[in-house]
Amino acid sequence: MQNFTFHNPTRIIFGEGQIAALDTQVPREARVLITCGGGSIKSNGVLAQVQAALGERASFVFEGIEPNPTYETLMQAVAVARERNIDFLLAVGGGSVIDGTKFIAAALKFNGEPWDILAKQTPVRDAVPFGSVLTLPATGSEMNNGSVISHRANGDKLFFTSDATYPLFSVLDPTTTYSLPARQIANGVVDAFVHTVEQYLTYPVDAKVQDRFAEGLLLTLTEVGPQALAEPKNYAVRANLMWTATLALNGLIGAGVPQDWATHMLGHEITALHGLDHAQTLAIVLPAMLTVRKEQKRAKLLQYAERVWNITEGSEDERIDAGIAATRAFFERMTVATRLRDYKVSGESVATLIAKLEEHGMTALGERGDVTLEVSRRVYELAV
Amino acid sequence: MQNFTFHNPTRIIFGEGQIAALDTQVPREARVLITCGGGSIKSNGVLAQVQAALGERASFVFEGIEPNPTYETLMQAVAVARERNIDFLLAVGGGSVIDGTKFIAAALKFNGEPWDILAKQTPVRDAVPFGSVLTLPATGSEMNNGSVISHRANGDKLFFTSDATYPLFSVLDPTTTYSLPARQIANGVVDAFVHTVEQYLTYPVDAKVQDRFAEGLLLTLTEVGPQALAEPKNYAVRANLMWTATLALNGLIGAGVPQDWATHMLGHEITALHGLDHAQTLAIVLPAMLTVRKEQKRAKLLQYAERVWNITEGSEDERIDAGIAATRAFFERMTVATRLRDYKVSGESVATLIAKLEEHGMTALGERGDVTLEVSRRVYELAV
């Protein structure tokens, strides 16, 4: 096990009816800016529940935070918050809304140009306090301090973290997910699965607990993922999916172990170039990534095949291949296609994708920094 | 899954050499009271490491917090802390030292008689900030807000929790455990195992993640427990044991599920009456408890037998019995005997133990409150 620090102060308030708990979590005198995406929280009644729980508090709604939230939109929210003397933010939505709200919270207390938080990684030392009401299980943003923000004007998509940007609390009510489109549920399952894999399928450091927890999350996702598509209003299924997705990226399973994240980096370039959903790119890249890096990941791939997919027969290579095939089959069963051509992207894109990786300095990825552009090229080619 | 709130703000700093991190965690101007038990932290060099890390800070040592820490001793520490104008406490030791330090921290800010925190459950709203350096993996006190304190004069052993009594940080350096006596390691493994079982072996609420995590902890303990006895200086083994014991009682696996704790309650009476180690009493009571309550716990016992002990052959009753037998065999393999008679306690004690349970109001224990005195009597009798 590697040395680590683990610290996660976010309070999770979980279960049906818990939106009402906002009344105990948001300071009584707060002036609240509710941040959200499109209109779904209006049509499904979540916004009304939130406003009812806030009661007499002064609250305002900022709508329009997009998937892959942009600096441009978020700076509009910053202006609104200043104008309204806001001192508490409440993100109501999925990972994009929560990521965006972290940036708004930091920007409001930042001296200088807030884009420097991302472009120059200027440390964020303070932020307006904020909470979240999660409506889409996927990214884990509701219980971590990370945020990915895009710059519409220059095309950058950058990441920041800060001890000041943990949500104070997050309300996780599984019933808020009942009305989600199947595509978003499927994407969320794939996203949580690959988050877990990035922190697990590396090389062994004898971190037995972290391995068991990661395997527990993967096993749960393989079980509840297809059910979540088949039975949208099955509370237990949605509850397990929601809690699993949070635990997949709250720092716990990644504490004390190597981490990969090359699949995410290669996926980001596909989204940037071709507009595919984030989870679609992960489903495309991961099986190819594991195949190309089979030797480097041999020991953990064998453990993964056995403990997650119950594959115990055959030679080592057969078991590894079967584990990767099972992963692909799981994504396909979740209705997320796993090859570039399924999205009408041909092999001709590979050169451009590699050029973009190079432009972004992504030349030594993975848990050992050995995913060179040449390795990435083979991954993309295998993913066609 | 049941509704839950999960919040755990303690920062964990894990790994060899991490005691040096105290310099970044303890405020620079703090006046520190180091609290500890006997002399082991002097002989194994831990105290010297702690003092070196604290550097120029004013620090004082309060020695003598006993196993099952007493109000009387802790009030002496409170007096010392007042005299020295202490504003930061640093517990260096195992669960008893950390539990005791939580009480000192609360008592220093308490208006009135501090024993009321336990006897009257007067809420603790404030406490002196404190951290810990853990040297004994077992109780989980390093990452929770609970504390068990005994009153020497009247024989009470009572419990309190407060949001103000989470350690700010806990340093977990597995090498500090190398010099522990085998008996303490064995007890710690049993303690962490039974903590997990109390939150897992109840009735199903379709909490798949919590089940998988609990099973992951149990599987890890069955693997590293015997190794921890056989190879005292195996870093990876001690690291896995240490992190597992913390995770067994930090609120995570118990969030959203029923909890039992009847084994602990019956065990406490044995310690009070006969002076057995806490873990010894758990090893005695648990196999009998599971046997007597087999019907109520049938579904989870079957899951436990299969997932933790890989028992898949035979009738349901055979599998359940085999799972319970495997549990007993594991404790025995950890050199912790599992019957009262092994400790020279005879069946004649049962009547007194039951009378004590009744005196303490322990008449409706367990996850359903159906462990009556009659059920407890059968458990004790089976445990003879």
- Let me know whether B124 and B223 are in one domain: no
Range with lowest mean pLDDT among A155-159, B72-76, B112-116: A155-159
Average pLDDT of the segment spanning B161-169: 97
Residue written as token pair 């082991």: B40
Residues of A in contact with B243 (CB under 8 A): 1, 209, 256
Q: Is the dihedral of CA A318, A324, A327, A328 positive or negative?
A: negative
Please report whether residue B123 resides in a domain: yes
User: Using a CB-CB distance cutoff of 8 angstroms, which residues of chain B are in contact with residue A168?
Assistant: none
Q: What is the pLDDT of residue A35?
A: 98
Residue of B209, B215, B224 lying closest to A217 (CB–CB) = B209
**Is residue A154 over pLDDT 90?**
no
The answer as to whether B45 is a domain residue is yes
For chain A, the domain total comes to 2
Q: Among partner residues B12, B18, B212, which is closest to A219 by beta-carbon distance?
A: B212
Nearest CB neighbour to A5, from listed B12, B219, B243: B12
- At A306-316, the pLDDT tens digits run 999 999 999 99
A162, A163, A7: which is closest to B143 by C-alpha? A7
Of A3, A244, A252, nearest to B14 by CB-CB distance is A3
Asked if the C-beta of A217 comes within 8 angstroms of chain B's C-beta atoms, the answer is: yes
Tell me which chain A residues have a C-beta less than 8 angstroms from the C-beta of B17. Answer: 3
CA distance, residue B114 to nearest chain A CA (Å): 28
CATH number of the domain that A17 lies in? Answer: 3.40.50.1970
Could you tell me if B169 and B187 lie in one domain?
A: no
pLDDT of residue B156: 81
Nearest chain A Cα to B216, which residue? Answer: A212
pTM confidence score? 0.97
- Whether A144 and A50 share a structural domain: yes
Given a cut of 90, whether residue A272 has pLDDT beyond it is no
Which chain B residues contact residue A207 at CB under 8 A?
A: 239-240
Q: Which residue segment(s) compose the domain that B333 sits in?
A: 182-383
- What pLDDT shows up at residue A174? 98
Mean pLDDT for B146-169 is 93
Select from B3, B209, B240 the Cβ nearest to the Cβ of A209.
Answer: B240
Contact A5 B13 (CB under 8 A): yes
Q: For residue B84, what pLDDT is reported?
A: 98
How distant is the Cα of B194 from the closest Cα of chain A, in angstroms?
17
Residue B324 lies in a domain: yes
- Band of pLDDT at residue A157, cut at 50, 70 and 90: confident
A364/A223 same-domain check: yes
* B92 shares its domain with B207: no
Nearest to A17 by CA among A70, A53, A41, A44: A53
What is the per-residue pLDDT for B351?
A: 97
Judge contact between B73 and B44, C-beta under 8 A.
no
- A71 plus A163 within the same structural domain: yes
Q: Which residues of B touch A252 (CB under 8 A)?
A: 252
B193: enclosing H helix or E strand = helix B182-198
Q: What does the radius of gyration of chain A's CA atoms come to, in whole angstroms?
A: 21
Q: Which long-range contacts (CB under 8 A, 24 or more apart) does A62-65 make?
A: A62/A33, A62/A34, A62/A35, A62/A36, A63/A36, A63/A37, A63/A38, A63/A39, A64/A37, A64/A38, A65/A35, A65/A36, A65/A37, A65/A93, A65/A96, A65/A97, A65/A100, A65/A101
Q: Convert the pLDDT of each residue in B118-143 to its tens digit.
A: 999 999 999 999 999 999 999 999 99
**8 Å CB contact between A319 and A312:** yes
The reply to whether residue A4 touches residue B14, judged by beta carbons under 8 angstroms, is yes
Q: Evaluate if residue A143 carries a pLDDT over 90.
A: yes
Query: What pLDDT score was predicted for residue B39?
Result: 84
- Which of B176, B206, B234 is the C-terminal boundary of a domain? B176
Residues B236 and B358 in one domain: yes
Residues of B in contact with A240 (CB under 8 A): 1, 206-209
Q: Based on the fold, state whether residues A63 and A153 are members of the same structural domain.
A: yes
* Residues 11-30, chain A, touching B (beta carbon < 8 A): 11-18
Of A14, A18, A220, the CB nearest to B212: A220
Q: Is B33 within the bounds of a domain?
A: yes
Tell me, what's the pLDDT at B290?
Answer: 98
Instruction: Please answer yes or no on whether B3 and A11 come within 8 Å at the CB atom.
Output: no
Predicted confidence band of residue B272 (pLDDT cuts 50, 70, 90): confident
Same structural domain, A161 and A195: no
> Given a cut of 90, is residue A155 above it in pLDDT?
no
**Nearest by CB: B247 against A209, A223, A224:** A209
- The DSSP H or E segment spanning B362 is none
From A1, which residue of chain B is nearest by alpha-carbon distance?
Answer: B236
Residue A319 region, left (φ>0) first, then alpha (ψ -120 to 50), else beta? Answer: alpha
**pLDDT digit string, tens, across residues A333-380:** 999 999 999 999 999 999 999 999 999 899 999 999 999 999 999 999
Residues B209 and B62 in one domain: no
Nearest-by-CA chain A residue for B167: A7
Q: Is the pLDDT of residue B155 over 90?
A: no
The alpha carbon of residue A59 is apart from the nearest alpha carbon of chain B, in Å, by 25
Among A83, A85, A78, A82, which Cα is nearest to A35's? A78
Contact B14 A255 (CB under 8 A): yes
Q: Assess B312–A contact: CB distance below 8 Å, yes or no.
A: no
Say yes or no: B56 and B200 in one domain.
no
Q: Would the pLDDT of B21 be above 90?
A: yes
Q: Which residue of B has its CA nearest to A15?
A: B3
- B5 within domain boundaries: no
A236 CB near a chain B CB, below 8 Å?
A: yes
Nearest by CB to A14, from B3, B18, B243: name it: B3
CB pairs under 8 A between A and B: 122
Interchain proximity B243–A224, CB inside 8 Å: no
Report yes or no on A290 lying in a domain: yes
Is A187 within 8 Å of A279 (Cβ atoms)?
Answer: yes
What is the distance between the alpha carbons of residues A46 and A40, in angstroms, rounded to a whole number?
8
Asked if residue B157 has pLDDT above 90, the reply is: no
pLDDT at residue B244 in the model: 98
- Cβ of B3 and A18 within 8 Å? yes
pLDDT in tens, B279-333: 999 999 999 999 999 999 999 999 999 999 999 999 999 999 999 999 999 999 9
Q: For B207-238, what is each residue's pLDDT tens digit?
A: 999 999 999 999 999 999 999 999 999 999 99
Contact B5 A14 (CB under 8 A): yes
CATH number at residue B202: 1.20.1090.10
Residue where one domain finishes, among candidates A119, A148, A176: A176
Does residue A206 contact residue A1 with C-beta atoms inside 8 Å? yes
Q: Does B38 touch chain A (CB under 8 A)?
A: no
Residues 55-114 of B with CB under 8 A from A: none
What confidence category does residue A225 fall into, taking pLDDT thresholds of 50, 70 and 90? very high
Q: Give me the pLDDT at residue A146, please.
A: 97
Q: Please provide the distance, in angstroms rounded to a whole number, between the alpha carbons at the two ends of chain A.
A: 37
State which of B153, B176, B199 marks the end of a domain.
B176
Same domain, A226 and A162: no
What is the DSSP code string of B247-271? Answer: HTTSSTTTTTS----HHHHHHHHHH
More confident residue, A152 or B304: B304
B2 lies in some domain? no
Looking at residue B154, its pLDDT comes to 82
Q: How large is the average pLDDT for residues B40-49?
A: 95
In a domain, A5, yes or no: no
Per-residue pLDDT, B34: 98
Q: For residue A228, what pLDDT is reported?
A: 98
